[in-house]
Structure 1
Amino acid sequence: MKTTALLPVITYPDPSPETAIPGVLAMAAALGAQLHALAINVEVRSISNALSRKLVDVSKMTREAEAQCREHGEAFLAKLVEEAKQAGVDTITGAVASNATLLNDTAAIEARYHDFVLCAWANNPTARLTAEAIIFGSGRPTILLPEVDPVRELRNVAVAWDGSRVAARAVADAHEVLRRASRITVLTVTDEKPLSETNAAERLAQGLNARGLSAEAMPFGTEDGPIEVSLQDRALEIGADLMVMGAFGHTRLRDFVLGGVTNGILRDVRLPILLSH
């Protein structure tokens, strides 16, 4: 069975940066996945009235905005295909168009047909809103890829664990990642909130070892620092190639109310992170 990973290529309003391509290709190769890159272009609804016709050519502006999005998507995909050939990554490309207000929903729907979603992370509102929509709307594990050194192999994986349902779902969704790792470190913050089990990290490590994986528990205290910072600091200290964690949040009237840790992670992504809800 072939593993597939979707790369949503956002074209509006903040386009996906081409500098993300090396990291995306490296992660697809590390997952052993066929990469499906999909440019999501915008359709701008024409807004026309007597005043707008007198002051500005709205139809022309709409056509130009749509053409600019298509051009960016085509350029990104062309560069991706060129670099994928050099990297030996099996890549399929395509494009869809969506109304501006539904771009993120379109990305989430498309993601449901793949094993993983790779989100090229950039520090802008578009990247964050797209990631939130996919994480909470697709039902698929989503890997955020900040512009750091590309991950060539998934040998060293950290798991953020608190014994919750969401964390358990993330571990299950990360099976393909965990089975490739030669070292798995279970990170449990012991002084951030009351845990239902004092030995939660040890229990997960034991369970992973029983499945033939190589895991160790690493409970630690935050020393009053933000938990999202402490988790990433510890993951980076142990040289983790990727961190697995559950995404906490609720959907109400189409707005995401994020848990504190998830919100903090999305403010500052410092290593590849697999998020699952």
Structure 2
Amino acid sequence: MHNRIAYLPLSTYPEAPPDPAVTAAVVLAAALNCGVQASLFEVDVPKTASPISGFLINVEGMAQAVEQRSKAECARLQTLIAGAAPKATVASHKVMLGGALDAATTEARTCDLALLPWSADTISAQDMAQSLVFDAGVPVILVPPTATAASVNHIAIAWDGSRVAARALCDALPLLAEGGHVSVVTVEDEKSLGAPGIADTLTAALQRRGFRAKAVNITLDGRTIAAALQETALSEGAQLLAMGGFGHSRLRDFILGGATKGVFAELRLPVLLSH
């Protein structure tokens, strides 16, 4: 059995993710029996060469101040992670402005999965999530500050029979604790599912493979699909919700599907996204 490694990228510009979310991600890594490989990205701001700018504002001084704050955040985050996971591997990288996303996406491909501390109000967290979900090629788990699971013995899969849902299922099952439960959640009134009883079909297939699985068919009842999926996962006792990440990229302008976008906006439990 190999040692599973969770990648934890933290950008410090324009701000770092909230400390509680960072700590929650490290705690979840332990619950998933993963080691932590953390990368802290310190920003390198290009200096202007314009001779006139110095007469108006101290551009170089402002750039240096941004770099110093970013460097201090990296040092502080390194201490925070070391306190939560003493065996974590932590490295700091100085990258050009805007370079953290490409660097993190490349590094993530060498690990089993990526854990992203989540905040809907933190631009750097949103950008990192979108970049890794669509470009890294590994499962990405968004972790809210409220996540506290000591183990993952119950996962919920948002199931519509699609390719991305199947990908999410295959990515999530290896993370389930031995003897754990799987809730197969199907939203019956959100869109055409193509065939009746798809939750029961997957449930039977999982049971044949030795999993303890249960079909959960729900309706929206006035809720958004994101709220319905998360409420159902929590009410079933799941510590992780797995779902396919929909979207496409055109000139790096990501258009997220309704369910995925809704989960991004208000995250209530760790959500694994596969693309």
Distance 1:154 1:183 in 2: 9
Deviates more, 1:101-110 or 1:225-234: 101-110
Matches within 5 A, 1:89-104: 90-104=87-101
Report what 2:193 is aligned to: 195
Q: Structure 2-normalised TM-score?
A: 0.95
Query: Paired residue for 2:134, among 136, 143, 153?
Result: 136
Q: Structure 1-normalised TM-score?
A: 0.94
Contact 2:156 2:183 in 1 (8 A): yes
Query: Paired residue for 1:266, among 258, 264, 267?
Result: 264
- Look up the SS of the partner of 1:63 in the other structure: helix
- Look up the SS of the partner of 2:129 in the other structure: helix
Matches within 5 A, 1:19-34: 19-34=20-35
Report what 1:37 is aligned to: 38
Matches within 5 A, 1:51-200: 51-85=52-86, 90-124=87-121, 125-178=123-176, 180=178, 182-200=180-198
Distance 1:149 1:193 in 2: 30
Give the drift of 1:197. 1.8
Distance 1:273 1:247 in 2: 10
Contact 1:156 1:181 in 2 (8 A): no
- Look up the SS of the partner of 2:184 in the other structure: strand
Give the drift of 1:19. 2.1
Structure 1 180/247 Cα, relative in aligned 2: closer, same or farther at 3 Å? Answer: farther
Give the drift of 1:181. 5.6
Give the drift of 1:123. 2.3
Give the drift of 1:149. 4.1
Contact 1:118 1:145 in 2 (8 A): yes
Deviates more, 1:171-180 or 1:129-138: 171-180
Give the drift of 1:147. 1.0
Contact 2:12 2:124 in 1 (8 A): no
- Look up the SS of the partner of 1:101 in the other structure: coil
Give the drift of 1:61. 2.0
Distance 1:5 1:136 in 2: 17
Structure 1 83/160 Cα, relative in aligned 2: closer, same or farther at 3 Å? Answer: same
Deviates more, 1:1-10 or 1:21-30: 21-30
Distance 1:235 1:4 in 2: 25
Distance 1:178 1:161 in 2: 17
Contact 1:163 1:197 in 2 (8 A): no
Give the drift of 1:22. 3.1
**Partner amino acid, structure 2, of 1:146:** P
Report what 2:8 is aligned to: 7
Give the drift of 1:103. 2.2
Distance 1:219 1:188 in 2: 5
**Partner amino acid, structure 2, of 1:32:** N
Distance 1:66 1:176 in 2: 40
Structure 1 19/179 Cα, relative in aligned 2: closer, same or farther at 3 Å? Answer: closer
| Unmatched 5+ stretches in structure 2 | none
Contact 1:9 1:39 in 2 (8 A): yes
| Unmatched 5+ stretches in structure 1 | none
- Look up the SS of the partner of 2:215 in the other structure: strand
Structure 1 181/35 Cα, relative in aligned 2: closer, same or farther at 3 Å? Answer: farther
Distance 1:272 1:83 in 2: 18
Give the drift of 1:97. 2.1
Distance 1:50 1:26 in 2: 50
- Look up the SS of the partner of 1:70 in the other structure: helix
- Look up the SS of the partner of 1:198 in the other structure: coil
Percent identity between the aligned chains?
35
Contact 1:105 1:137 in 2 (8 A): no
Report what 1:205 is aligned to: 203
> What number of residue pairs does the alignment pair up?
273
- Look up the SS of the partner of 1:225 in the other structure: coil
